[in-house]
Structure 1
């Protein structure tokens, strides 16, 4: 059995009772960063063998892990924060386990984009999750495509690229587009800025420094959203 276990994105209390029980029961735990995960496990007095599993070693680790599980061991996959395989390593291992006939279960739990979307005050009936933008090549093209979408879009961003992203959106003519910038979710200094992109840029430019993981929730342009709704209504009537 492979369990995918979400871990808190900030506040250590944001973990389920089932997650804590299974972390106590499994034979070993795969962690994106064993040092960061060690803090969480120590807090809850969980002592299990930890193995590193991250973006740079997953191809080498997958086969060995699948063999251990196939031999009867139970494993848990956790990441630094949130749900495994959501903008974090995990897909390759899940696919390999399924192909090997190993049962995979993902627990319900913390992930950053859900609270950001819900508290953004932007339409959440339908949305697109884009994850992280390309750091360099293809970034401007991707942003241009996102601005053509008819639904609310959720993005992950690093603090040192936030101003660049906001400026690029303005350069693409989206300065009046509504956005929510959610920073340090569930932590002591949690902040959610709501306004248009131009206002968001001014707000964060005024800060001495920008810290913490960031979720951007970008609203669709009204005429694009309305056009999509009209098409869907026509399809329904037909």
Structure 2
């Protein structure tokens, strides 16, 4: 929470370097929750969270992403993700059409924020198509999920050294299968899980748990027909 407050303070001062540096230290499940508590209107610990969001929107264009350094990549990506999740709009200049690490990470960050905010299946479909033809986006997907879960160390240039078992990452994905909306579920079963399986075929020794979680989600009801069909397809492949 202290680091999340430092990030908010950097935003309020208009200090992009300090803000991004603090955001970069908020990569992980618990840290993400702390950031949400800072800026989410219904649960914020600050008096005027909307002011933090407004200042952050102004700040985003002043971040120097050309350095492509690791802290900037992660910090800027988190900023993009949180703003997209809050506003439902990805910053206009965020795109995947580049070979740079920072752009790939921020592009994915915006997509995930959009899925969580809007539940738009088209956004998940478009991201899946982009990833199919981009080795960088595929590597970024593994790196993002694996580092967020703490199974893969944060390394420069999205380097994937070795092939550790993705135990904590698998647990995070299984929890998301249960809890998050249909568009995000579609993203998981069509994009995230297949890419993670290409890296760790055992899925953190949790393939059976994943299949069970998807089955239970289907039993509880999946409104979107495409998400239901894709979920059934993945279950068949897992078994």
Note whether the superposition's TM-score is higher than 0.5: no
More strand per residue: 1
More helix per residue: 2
More contact order relative to length (CA 8 Å, sep ≥ 6): 1
- TM-score, normalization by structure 1: 0.30
- TM-score, normalization by structure 2: 0.29
Larger radius of gyration: 1
